[in-house]
Amino acid sequence: MLGKLIKHEWKSMYKMGCLMLGAMAIVTFLGWLSFRSLFRAMNGDTLDPFGWMDIFGGFTMMIYVMLLVCVSAGTIIYIGVHFYRTMYTDEGYLTHTLPVTGHQILISKILVSGLWTMIVLLTIYASFILLALSAIFSLEPIDISFAELMDGLGRLVVEMEAMLDFDAMRLLASWILITLAGPFITTVTLFGAISLGQLVSRGRLLMGVLFYVAIMVAKQLVTIMLKGFASSAGMYLNMNFNVGFIVDLFAAAVLYALSYFVISRKLNLI
Amino acid sequence: MNGLVEILGLTKAYDEHHVAVSNISLTLPRGKIIGLLGPNGSGKTTLIKMLNGLLMPTAGSIRIGGKPVGVETKAHVSYLPDRTYLSGNKKVKQILDYFADFYKDFSRERAVGMLQSLGIEPDARMNTLSKGTKEKVQLILVMSRQADLYVLDEPIAGVDPAARDYILRTILNNYNPNSSVLISTHLIGDIEQVLDEVIFMRYGHLVLYTSVDNVREKHGKSVDAYFREVFAC
């Protein structure tokens, strides 16, 4: 039954996901245009360094950043609304009368929503990388090869490791782990907050949003407090991901349990 | 006794001042169409939600086919809520797929046949259908299952008389004789003809559970007339 739940959850969400990916493609194209014009101007390719292309470049760069925020926030908002609608409004009458367990319902929603969040996150990374490469090759279109670029980056990282006393590989491993697990943790946190909102009698959706904000603030505070033990910048960087990840993981476990408690013991559809 | 549903000491209290269902005990047999009748706020929908696992009882227990309410009972209970619970974005055929995937007892052929008889296109999106047509689609889905228990919450409220007749015919023609149908309604006059037994509820309490014949013989009245007498304001 879990497979069927995942299949139908995927079917009900893939259009939104494709829409977000399409938006990311457009955003990246705008960003590429903006970078290209900006760096060409810096390189002296254009006759008038303060011409309309610069204005266009600056403007599209601003739009690029704004749209990136919109796409990532839009994904989270859509996922939250979809979860609320299918679990705690009229559609919940169907969801909760299916012959499946509460764990199966939650896991299917977490997997599909988390996967879409991860896909959108990866496209944001890809967008950044494309733009960074575009900028670099706009500055030095002929002289730098990809191998030289990577070599230069490697040397830069080694210098930074020595200067700041941190482990770049560990940081990279943590970053990859967070990229893969983070979207699912975010999803569980969001679902947990929305489910907690069901425990109040009025304004449940609003309370869910407030719980989400409160949980995010509380997680940040705990992470900052724990990172206060760092004695150097490198140690801070090393701890930054690890501590934050552990706090997130712990909070996600608690919020999953709370979500399950709400749907199995405290369900009260209006 | 051939009990399909066994309810024992069932209570649902939202808080100490608001007890929606109070200490109800009854056994519903197989093969009957049972009317769950009572004025607004009498606890009918709360009882129905508990039968479907949408609300947890404060005290007492429910067993359906000998099993407590859970995954196994949900596979054998076909529930029609008093609202549209299908996503407006989905096509009718997508909802058929959904039911076919999750309910082993769902007959797609029967559902398609009933939809065709009403001229409802499988490619139609739910949000393009009228309120009455949506209710018919829901009823068709629910009655296309070979369930042990059909729980219908206000199936004829808010639809025109012709649609009421269609709904009642659908219920009568499609329910399995080994199963039972529990119908909650205010419109007793319209539904009395199909009922075998009636449950009267008031303020969360069970007032009466008896056969329709018994009401007629003992009180010399129709169920509708007797209901008006019992619940006179």
**Helices A146-164 & A168-197, crossing angle to 10 degrees?**
80
- What is the chain B residue with the closest CA to A104? B71
- With 0-12 / 13-18 / 19 or more C-beta atoms within 10 angstroms meaning exposed / middle / buried, residue A231 is exposed
In chain A, residues with a C-beta closer than 8 Å to the C-beta of B102 are 1, 4, 98-100
Q: Using the beta-carbon criterion (under 8 Å), do B54 and A1 form an inter-chain contact? A: no
Tell me the per-residue pLDDT of B112-167, one tens digit each, with 9 for 90 and over: 988 888 888 899 999 898 888 888 899 889 988 999 999 999 887 767 777 778 77
Residue numbers of A between 76 and 95 with CB closer than 8 Å to B: 86, 90-94
A8 interfacial to chain B (CB closer than 8 Å): yes
Q: Measured between alpha carbons, how far is A242 from A251 in angstroms, rounded to an integer?
A: 14
Q: Using the beta-carbon criterion (under 8 Å), do A100 and B79 form an inter-chain contact? A: no
Phi, psi angles (nearest 5°) of residue B57: -65, 150
Average predicted confidence (pLDDT) for chain A: 84
- What is the chain A residue with the closest CA to B104? A99
Distance from CA of B164 to the nearest CA of A (A): 23
pLDDT of residue A54: 64
Cα A197 to Cα A135, A185, A202, A204, B85: the distances in Å are 46, 18, 9, 5, 21
In chain A, residues with a C-beta closer than 8 Å to the C-beta of B85 are 90-94
Q: Measured between alpha carbons, how far is A21 from A119 in angstroms, rounded to an integer?
A: 8
Tell whether the model's pLDDT for residue B194 goes beyond 90.
Answer: no
In chain B, residues with a C-beta closer than 8 Å to the C-beta of A11 are 94
Closest residue to B71, CB basis, from A11, A91, A99: A99
Q: Which of B14-21's residues contact partners 24+ apart within 8 Å by CB, and which partners?
A: B19/B204, B20/B46, B20/B204, B21/B46, B21/B47, B21/B50, B21/B57, B21/B204
Rounded mean pLDDT of A35-47?
62
pLDDT of residue B199: 94
Closest residue to B85, CB basis, from A90, A100, A267: A90
Q: Using the beta-carbon criterion (under 8 Å), do A7 and B84 form an inter-chain contact? A: no
Tell whether the model's pLDDT for residue B46 goes beyond 90.
Answer: yes
Confidence of residue B83 (pLDDT cuts 50, 70, 90): confident
Confidence of residue B36 (pLDDT cuts 50, 70, 90): very high
Q: Using the beta-carbon criterion (under 8 Å), do B55 and A267 form an inter-chain contact? A: yes
Q: Measured between alpha carbons, how far is B215 from A122 in angstroms, rounded to an integer?
A: 69
A270 interfacial to chain B (CB closer than 8 Å): no
pLDDT of residue A154: 83
In chain B, residues with a C-beta closer than 8 Å to the C-beta of A264 are 56
- What is the chain A residue with the closest CA to B98? A8
All residues at 6 or more sequence positions from B153 whose CB lies less than 8 Å from its CB, including other chains? B44, B45, B48, B79, B80, B81, B82, B184
> A76-80, A206-210, B228-232: lowest mean pLDDT where?
B228-232
Q: Measured between alpha carbons, how far is A183 from B36 in angstroms, rounded to an integer?
A: 47
Distance from CA of A85 to the nearest CA of B (A): 9
- List the structure tokens of A140: 């030095």
Tell me if the domain spanning B3-230 has CATH number 3.40.50.300: yes
CA angle in degrees (0–180, nearest 5) for B67-B71-B75: 90
Rounded mean pLDDT of A25-32?
82
Q: Measured between alpha carbons, how far is B72 from B56 in angstroms, rounded to an integer?
A: 16
Return the number of CB contacts < 8 Å for A and B: 56
Residue A67 or residue B73, greater confidence? B73
ipTM metric: 0.88
pLDDT of residue A93: 94
